[in-house]
Amino acid sequence: MSAVADTLAPPAGARADWTIDQAWDRYGDAEHRVWTTLYERQRALLPGRACDAFLRGLDSLDLHRGGVPDFARINPELSRLTGWSVVAVPGLVPDAVFFDHLANRRFPSGQFIRDGGELDYLREPDIFHDVFGHVPMLTDPVFADYMQAYGQGGLRAVGLDRLHNLARLYWYTVEFGLLQTPAGLRIYGAGIVSSRAESVFALDDPSPNRLAFDLERVMRTPYRIDDFQQTYFVIPSLDALLDATLSDFGPLYDRLRVAADIPIEAVQPGEPAFTRGTQAYARGRAAAVQ
Ligand code: PHE
Ligand code: FE
């Protein structure tokens, strides 16, 4: 789940904080089957690809049982582990609403699930992306703190007119982050672990760059919403990510006000890289649409 800010009034039927009842009883058999299909596909693919914290979280919440997860069932365990809970929303919510939920350890999740005929196509984040992708990492105490701090930081970035910079941090960590481990690179980003194709591409394809995470560098890097990423950033540990973001972003935002963006595919001179991508995939796609 991410956010769009055009209107602040919740849609009819939603509460002032944009939440709705999940209405779990109303999911039909076909919807439960879509969940189970997607779940089993990713669960088979992710060992050796997703990081341990993600796989542990997935199992501790028992997200396989009974199709689409009932928030009333998973919230007691999630809240026991880290104080987080999942709340249902109708779709994308305004930025300030999204950040306020995170700052209070509530993760807003889409209520609907994608159509069984289009398992890999998503117009907006659905409950599979939001719950399978995001919620397991929220069982990790360090990542749980990071997400709450992000919510607090988001409210502040709006006031300082730096939200587009902070949004890149979310994108390149929470959605598309990679983690360095002794066994090799692992995925922790929700946008990757919830996508069959990107779970492979992000780790194995020679096309994208895989660069060492650097806070200011990340905030200067635009991202793609329509295709696989051209660059991924690798954190050395979840603790290091939290440490890097606990500092006051005020001085950083002042620098970013005058700093140029870095082209999406660029590796800078002397920049530490796990992989210098060929960018062959991105070039092929660009040529195909011309
Ligand atoms: N430390 C950041 C600030 O001063 C807040 C933040 C924390 C942002 C963690 C993102 C992640 O604004
Ligand atoms: Fe998301």
Does residue 245's CB lie within 6 angstroms of at least one atom of ligand 1?
A: yes
Q: Encoding tokens for residue 64?
A: 């396989």
* Axis-axis angle for helices 95-103, 141-159 (nearest 10): 140
Residue 99's Cβ-side half-sphere holds a number of Cα atoms within 13 Å equal to 20
User: What is the largest distance, in Å, between two alpha-carbon atoms of the chain?
Assistant: 56
- Residues lining ion ligand 2 (Cβ < 5 A) are 1, 190
Tens digit of each residue's pLDDT (9 = 90 or more) over 88-117: 999 999 999 999 999 999 999 999 999 998
Does residue 107's CB lie within 6 angstroms of at least one atom of ligand 1?
A: no
Q: pLDDT value at position 121?
A: 76
What atom in ligand 1 is closest to the CA of residue 153?
Answer: 5
Range 24-288: architecture per CATH:
Orthogonal Bundle (1.10)
Domain ranges of the chain: 24-288
Q: pLDDT value at position 3?
A: 52
Return the best residue to mutate from 170, 218, 219, 246 for the ligand 1 pocket (most ligand atoms within 8 A of CB): 246
What atom in ligand 1 is closest to the CA of residue 146?
Answer: 9
What's the pLDDT band for 72 if we cut at 50, 70, 90? very high
Tens digit of each residue's pLDDT (9 = 90 or more) over 153-201: 999 999 999 999 999 999 999 999 999 999 999 999 999 999 999 999 9
Over residues 259-288, mean pLDDT:
96
Q: pLDDT value at position 76?
A: 98
* Ligand nearest the Cα atom of residue 253: 1
Q: What is the dihedral of CA 225, 69, 148, 191, to 10 degrees?
A: -20
Over residues 241-249, mean pLDDT:
97
Residue with tokens 């005929």: 117
Does residue 26 have a pLDDT over 80? yes
Share of the chain above pLDDT 90, in %: 92
Over residues 16-41, mean pLDDT:
97
Q: pLDDT value at position 280?
A: 98
